[in-house]
Amino acid sequence: MSPRTSPISQPVTVRRAVARDAKRLTRLVRGSGAYQGEYAAAVAGYRVGPDYLEAHRAFVAVGGDEQGGRVLGFYSLVLAPPELDLLFVADDVQGRGIGRLLVAHMQSEARAAGIDRLKVVSHLPAEDFYHRVGAVRTGTAFANPPAVPWDRPEFEFHIP
């Protein structure tokens, strides 16, 4: 297996995001390889602040010794209306199961909150990922210039 696709050998834990994670999460969003070129403007000024983390159910995947305890990815679940607001995995650990782990955790959190389905408005490069983790395409979120000048696929997770 190549380093990009081999699973992470050390444990990865998922914990609630806290205020001190905000800068790291902002860097993860702004540095995402999925938001290069024409997509760069969408995240150029994006900020995940302590206020955002307090208002939403945000969770981080943290690597064990192999990754020096760094944040490998995160997601944010909005309860009303039910939506997966953000899901990012660090570029250098994509393909190693972190995204799948975060989706499974998100589904568990949604189930515990009594949610049986939730919406995801995906970034175009993430569309295949959402198909692979069981989301069902339900439509299209149309462009909203200047913030988002392109159409985006909408998905729904059915929470068992």
Q: pLDDT digits over 46-72, tens only?
A: 999 999 999 999 999 998 765 557 899
Tens-digit pLDDT profile for residues 7-26 = 666 789 999 999 999 999 99
Mean pLDDT check: name the lowest of 4-8, 80-84, 124-128. 4-8
DSSP 3-state of 110: helix
33 pLDDT above the threshold of 50:
yes
What DSSP designation does 120 have? E
Q: Find residue 43's DSSP bridge partners.
A: none
pTM of this prediction?
0.90
Smallest CA-to-CA distance from 160 within 134, 126, 128 is with: 134
Smallest CA-to-CA distance from 86 within 95, 76, 94, 96 is with: 76
Q: Which two tokens stand for residue 88?
A: 């990012």
28 pLDDT above the threshold of 90:
yes
Q: Is the peptide bond before 153 cis (omega within 30 degrees of 0)?
A: no
What DSSP designation does 125 have? G
Smallest CA-to-CA distance from 88 within 123, 53, 55 is with: 123
